[in-house]
């Protein structure tokens, strides 16, 4: 801490502070109470609480003052915004820090992707803390643009902005004691180790926790989360654009265990961040579901800071950074103002922070090799097919078995039964890998929708009603050097270019929101009624999430983590 003698003198009341927040109702997440307070600030830090003199006084006139909010687990790429534009979206909602896993950048660009995030997130009105991606690729069942080992993680683990090792997605590898996975956990010792264990229960979960994993954000059932909590895992209560688990998990929380929970959004689109909110939305929803407001704010602040060892964040007390939110209604939490190190950075929904210099974009990442004939699926007499079934508002899918529609010896989409063709084309190494399967749940009546955002390897993924429109979507994504697109009758009806790793736009927040809205409208016009159609599409190739998925290597049994036949 710089100028410590001067700060101590101010704390003792011997000289005036730089700034005084007066007449606040302080939400004290440390003592678990709300009390009247004046807060003195110097050089961006809280110096003391009490009666102080100051060169500038901000009279809050009885408004509530709480620490800025913290997201415990987020993939910034899922917003499709650069770090500065993401800050523009969430700072007005009171977010002061995010713990991010640049897993998507790393799968496309390797260590260069992590370095890009570290560089592009400097000097913003929002603190970014990095969890080093542990599973690049997520599994051996997909082709990604890079491969990271424990030795790679060791190169960056000492960085002060690195909070630990990100979600161990190869959870069978962890509980079975694979040397590669245990080495990654060992590389992060002394820092946080995040988990990823959807549906994992019983003795294998015991082994997973024993290996050193300390958190989980994948619980979709109450009993599952309770079992993980009982074994000492920090539970991240997830509420994103498609992963909406908060309502299910809130009954888990009581006054004795709340300290072991934090909020996380995991994946959330730009428009949802602006219109619905970020962690402030989690606080509002949790409160409406019966959680005491001060408990919700503790979960949104100090709990995440302590779990991830974010020093001097998450509370309002001497030594902590002066990262505050001001609001008027405890039961309907709406942020009026956001302060970063004592500086007003957002007010009444308007971002007031400075925009830093632009960082150079990473290299191109679109290297495709495919032919129209790769899309064809030859029928096998009297054989049924396995179909991926979408589960609304979840990233898990179901495996269903159906009789296919056959024309001229080929299996074709059956719009009347909502069975669409699904195609994944490898885009990093020009391998020529093309996976073809079928999916139900998008309800397209015509056309196709495609994306280069396709967790976790981020190859090209397209769902469509006919091969011509599927092919047109692939061609347009290649032309844009990455993005998302809707196609009907061979014509592009909406698109969003994502030239940064095929994941992120280089356009301002408002433009990105407008183009995402146009894409969603185009999907609806084709018949899709999902809340987040393109984000749902992005998860149908996520091989570590049960039950059935499609990657460039073919159809994947995501429960057993092995390839499986379409028939």
121-125, 202-206, 375-379, 557-561: least confidently modelled range = 557-561
**Whether the predicted pLDDT of 357 surpasses 80:** no
DSSP designation for 170: -
Q: Name residue, tokens 């987020």.
A: 74
Distances (CA, A) of 528 to 195, 405, 438, 447: 33, 21, 16, 11
pLDDT band at 344 (very low <50, low <70, confident <90, very high): very high
Q: d(Cα 69, Cα 29) in Å, to the nearest integer?
A: 12
Contact indicator for 380, 373 with CB cutoff of 8 Å: no
State the pLDDT at residue 451: 98
Summarize pLDDT for 480-511 with one digit per residue, the tens. Answer: 999 999 999 999 999 999 999 999 999 999 99
Coil/strand/helix, residue 559: coil
Q: d(Cα 406, Cα 384) in Å, to the nearest integer?
A: 11
**Whether the predicted pLDDT of 370 surpasses 80:** yes
**Average pLDDT over all residues of the chain:** 96
Rg (CA), the chain: 24
The average pLDDT across 534-554 equals 94
The average pLDDT across 177-197 equals 95
More confident residue, 12 or 358: 12
The average pLDDT across 507-527 equals 96
State the pLDDT at residue 25: 98
The distance from CA 132 to its chain's CA centroid, rounded to whole angstroms, is 14
pLDDT band at 187 (very low <50, low <70, confident <90, very high): very high
Pairing state between β 95-100 and 69-74: parallel
Q: d(Cα 425, Cα 436) in Å, to the nearest integer?
A: 9
Q: For residue 277, what are its two tokens?
A: 């909110």
Percent of the chain scoring above 90 in pLDDT: 91
CB atoms inside a 10 Å sphere around CB 119: 11
Which residues, 6 or more positions from 72, have their beta carbon under 8 angstroms from its beta carbon? Answer: 99, 215, 217, 236, 262, 263, 264, 303, 304, 307, 308
1-5, 84-88, 130-134, 456-460: least confidently modelled range = 1-5
Please, where are the H alpha helices in 276-320?
279-288, 293-299, 302-307
State the pLDDT at residue 138: 84
DSSP designation for 504: B
Coil/strand/helix, residue 175: helix
**Whether the predicted pLDDT of 115 surpasses 90:** yes
Q: For residue 520, what are its two tokens?
A: 């969603």
Sheet order of strands, 554-557 included: 548-551, 554-557, 562-563
Summarize pLDDT for 289-327 with one digit per residue, the tens. Answer: 999 999 999 999 999 999 999 999 999 999 999 999 999
User: 486: which strand partners?
Assistant: 449, 494
Coil/strand/helix, residue 475: helix
Q: d(Cα 485, Cα 449) in Å, to the nearest integer?
A: 6
State the pLDDT at residue 73: 97
Q: d(Cα 39, Cα 316) in Å, to the nearest integer?
A: 8
């Amino acid at each position: 801490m710089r100028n410590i003698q001067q700060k101590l003198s101010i704390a003792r009341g011997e000289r005036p502070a730089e700034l005084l927040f007066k007449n606040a109702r302080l939400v004290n997440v440390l003592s678990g109470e709300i009390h009247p307070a004046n807060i003195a600030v110097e050089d961006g830090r809280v110096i003391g609480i009490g009666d102080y003199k100051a060169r500038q006084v901000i009279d809050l006139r009885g408004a509530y003052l709480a620490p800025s909010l913290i997201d415990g687990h987020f993939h910034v790429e899922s917003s499709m915004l650069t770090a500065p534009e993401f800050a523009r979206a969430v700072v007005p909602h009171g977010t002061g820090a995010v713990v991010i896993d640049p897993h998507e950048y790393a799968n496309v660009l390797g260590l260069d992707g992590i370095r890009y995030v570290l560089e592009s997130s400097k000097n913003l009105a929002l603190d970014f803390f990095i969890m080093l991606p542990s599973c690049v690729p997520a599994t051996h069942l997909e082709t990604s643009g890079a491969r990271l080992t424990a030795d790679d993680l060791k190169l960056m683990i000492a960085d002060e902005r690195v909070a630990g090792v990100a979600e161990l997605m190869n959870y069978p590898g962890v509980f079975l004691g694979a040397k590669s996975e245990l080495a990654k956990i060992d590389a992060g010792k002394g820092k946080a180790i995040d988990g990823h264990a959807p549906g994992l229960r019983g003795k294998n979960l015991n082994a997973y926790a024993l290996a050193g994993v300390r958190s989980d954000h994948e619980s979709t059932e109450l009993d599952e989360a309770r079992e993980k909590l009982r074994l000492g895992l920090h539970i991240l209560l997830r509420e994103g654009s498609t992963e909406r688990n908060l309502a299910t998990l809130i009954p888990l929380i009581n006054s004795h265990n709340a300290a072991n929970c934090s909020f996380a959004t995991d994946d959330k689109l730009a428009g949802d961040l602006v219109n619905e909110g970020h962690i402030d939305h989690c606080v509002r929803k949790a409160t409406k579901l019966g959680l005491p407001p001060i408990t919700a704010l503790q979960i949104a602040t100090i709990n995440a800071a302590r779990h991830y060892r974010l020093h001097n964040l998450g509370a309002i007390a001497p030594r902590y950074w002066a990262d505050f939110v001001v609001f008027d209604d405890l039961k309907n939490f709406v942020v009026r103002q956001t302060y970063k190190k004592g500086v007003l950075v957002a007010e009444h929904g308007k971002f007031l922070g400075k925009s830093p210099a632009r960082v150079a974009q990473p290299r191109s990442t679109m290297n495709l090799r495919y032919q129209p004939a790769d899309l064809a699926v030859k029928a096998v007499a009297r054989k049924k097919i396995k179909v991926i079934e979408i589960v609304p508002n979840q990233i898990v899918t179901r495996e269903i078995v159906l009789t296919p529609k056959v024309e001229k010896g080929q299996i074709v989409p059956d719009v009347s039964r909502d069975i669409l063709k699904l195609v994944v084309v490898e885009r990093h190494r020009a391998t020529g890998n093309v996976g073809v399967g079928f999916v139900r749940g998008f309800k397209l009546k015509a056309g196709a929708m495609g994306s280069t955002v396709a967790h976790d390897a981020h190859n090209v993924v397209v769902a469509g009603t006919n091969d011509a429109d599927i092919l047109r979507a692939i061609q347009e994504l290649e032309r844009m050097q990455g993005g998302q697109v809707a196609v009907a009758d061979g014509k592009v009806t909406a698109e969003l270019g994502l030239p940064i790793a095929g994941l992120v736009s280089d356009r301002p927040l408002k433009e990105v929101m407008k183009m995402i809205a146009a894409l969603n409208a185009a999907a609806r016009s084709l018949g899709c009624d999902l809340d987040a159609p393109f984000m749902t599409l992005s998860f149908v190739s996520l091989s570590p999430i049960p039950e059935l998925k499609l990657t460039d290597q073919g159809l994947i049994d995501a429960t057993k983590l092995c390839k499986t036949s379409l028939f």
